[in-house]
Copies of this chain bind each other. A is one copy, B any other.
Amino acid sequence: MSDKTAFAVPGAAAELEEGSALTPKFDADGLVTCVATDATSGEVLMVAHMNNEALAKTIATGEAWYFSRSRGMLWRKGETSGHTQRVIEMRVDCDQDAVWIKVDQTIAACHTGRRSCFYRAVPLGRPGAVTLEFRDERAFDPKAVYRGKN
């Protein structure tokens, strides 16, 4: 597959849900949601977005590519930090607007230094303002890894 190959246009619900063609339903910004989990532990590492090109590159190379909404650019996970994601398996959801990748994560996924971006728990069933509980230690020092880099 060329990275430039456009996917076919999504059909009706029955085709999207029960068909065997990958026809991603990109949103108004041209993006699908991607959930990356640790292929070994099952932990959710991060939630990000892929445009047409990021999805095609991920499928073609088996390395995770995303589209950064804040920077407005295609982005190979780990290109600055070295913390790449090798994709072990990719799944697509019923209406083809989300993909799930199980990855072999180098060092850590989160730019804050934690293994997962989801390092804080939200207590349930307590009245009043919610106080988050930190659960994960840093796996690397972001100041050292991103020093002098964007």
Contacts and interface: CB of A to CB of B under 8 A. Distances in A.
Contacts of A19: 132
A91 interface: yes
Nearest to A2: B127
B44 A35 contact: yes
A59 B130 contact: yes
Most B CB atoms within 10 A — which of A42, A87, A95, A99? A42
A49 B37 CA distance: 19
A3 to B, nearest CB: 12
A22 B122 contact: yes
A94 B112 contact: yes
Nearest to A97: B47
A75 interface: no
Contact of A122 (B35, B61, B91, B118): B91
Contacts of A59: 122, 124-125, 130
Interface of A: 1, 7-8, 17-22, 33, 35, 37, 41-44, 46-47, 58-62, 87, 89-95, 98-100, 110-112, 114, 117-122, 124-135
Given A42-B43, A90-B124, 11 more contacts: A8-B129, A18-B112, A20-B133, A21-B130, A22-B129, A35-B35, A44-B91, A90-B121, A91-B122, A92-B120, A94-B114
12 contacts: A1-B128, A35-B44, A37-B37, A42-B42, A47-B93, A59-B125, A60-B125, A89-B121, A89-B124, A90-B121, A90-B122, A94-B112
